[in-house]
Amino acid sequence: MHESMKAKLALLSAELRKEIIFGDREYTPNPHSPVSNWLVNTKRHCNGGRTVDAGLWLKKHCDSGGKIFLTMSGAGSSFEQGIMIGELIRAGKIAAISVTGANLEESLYRLVAHSDYAYIPNYQKLSRAQEKELDVVGFRRITDTFLPEDESTRIVLPEIEKLWRESDARKEQLLWHEYFLRLFQRGMLAFDKDANPADCWLYQAWRENIPIFVPGWEDSTMGNIFTQACCDSDHPFLSEYKSSKPIDRNIILPSVCYMHRLAEWYMDNTKERGIAFLQLGGGIAADFPICVVPHLKKDWLAEERQEVQDKVIRSWAGFIEIHDSTMSYGSYSGAGADEKVTWGKLEAESFGLQIAGDYTNIFPDITALVLGK
């Protein structure tokens, strides 16, 4: 370093000097990790650099015995993020998963109807008339991907309805995702011959007994179907179309029970060390579980002093968010790690990083780094 640069640094505050880095990252290339070596060497700046920093921190966290709490919004399951999630599960890196109801079911649909999925790369050029043409024949578009509803949802529906009605007869209550896992437990579904069960994160989570949380499950195709199936409406129009034998809606435990189970799980699994929070996208899949920390501190321990709350309830070990939202108007998506410190979800010294972009593009690189590929 030139003397002139040293002189410039000396004029800065000590706090600011600590933020400035010269040279390359602290990283020792591993001959058995060529992908990671390449990523560290080439993704040095901006969102590429943040991707590497996030992956290396998560790897260090996992290598020292820590695990990852993964959340996923959007349509990641339709976009085959299960390939990466499944591998992380099998490698023992995932502690638990929180997803939207859509991602839950779409992981299963990929397993039963993989060969019926189709793609339309130039989707942004479709006219409204072409979009309607797709609707009429039953092509349900999610960005560049068509979800084969008749070949997936409508194939799964008769089997899961058997479980719903069985629970109705038994006066049994389950969480939403437990009905999907029961399909696996009883071998009630045929998998597509072209599907790889290793790429279905839901199937892998069932095999490895990974806890799953599904807040807001009603906002999904199967959730909408159940809403109609359990409705005993006397509405002058809708009553004509209701089921002849509505299912008791109480067979599904309310979402507060997901928070009950999450609070218990969190207390049992953070006794020795914190858990890293990896957020793919934003929304309820992430906001619901990350709030378990202030929920425990401020609701369960409301009568305790803050020093006691912070001592008894361990905050998340770190927070990584991959998103394309701006930080504005009170939106949770894009709020960032700093804001979470004010809610007690993170500590001031916790690792926190936002990466702007499409997580289907960024998450594979982070996975490669965590797994030392």
Provide the whole-model pTM: 0.94
With a cut of 90, say whether residue 337 has pLDDT above it.
no
- At residue 117, the pLDDT reads 96
Structure confidence at residue 282 as a pLDDT band (50, 70, 90): confident
Residue 327 confidence (pLDDT): 67
pLDDT, tens digit (0-9, with 9 covering 90-100), for 34-57: 999 999 999 999 999 999 999 999
* CATH class of the domain comprising 31-113+174-218+252-371: alpha beta
Q: What is the pLDDT of residue 341?
A: 92
Task: Express each pLDDT in 99-132 by its tens digit.
Answer: 999 999 999 999 999 999 999 999 999 999 999 9
Q: Tell me how crowded residue 45 is: count the other CB atoms within 10 A of its CB.
A: 8
Q: Averaged over 307-332, what is the pLDDT?
A: 86
Computed on alpha carbons and rounded to an integer, the radius of gyration of the chain in Å comes to 23
> Collapsing DSSP states into helix, strand and coil, what is residue 3?
helix
pLDDT at 336: 80
Is the predicted pLDDT of residue 329 greater than 70, yes or no?
no
- In whole angstroms, give the CA distance from residue 164 to residue 170: 10
Measured distance CA(351)–CA(241) in Å, rounded: 53
Domain boundaries, the chain: 31-113+174-218+252-371
Give pLDDT tens digits for 250-260: 999 999 999 99
Kindly tell me if the per-residue pLDDT of 332 is higher than 80.
no
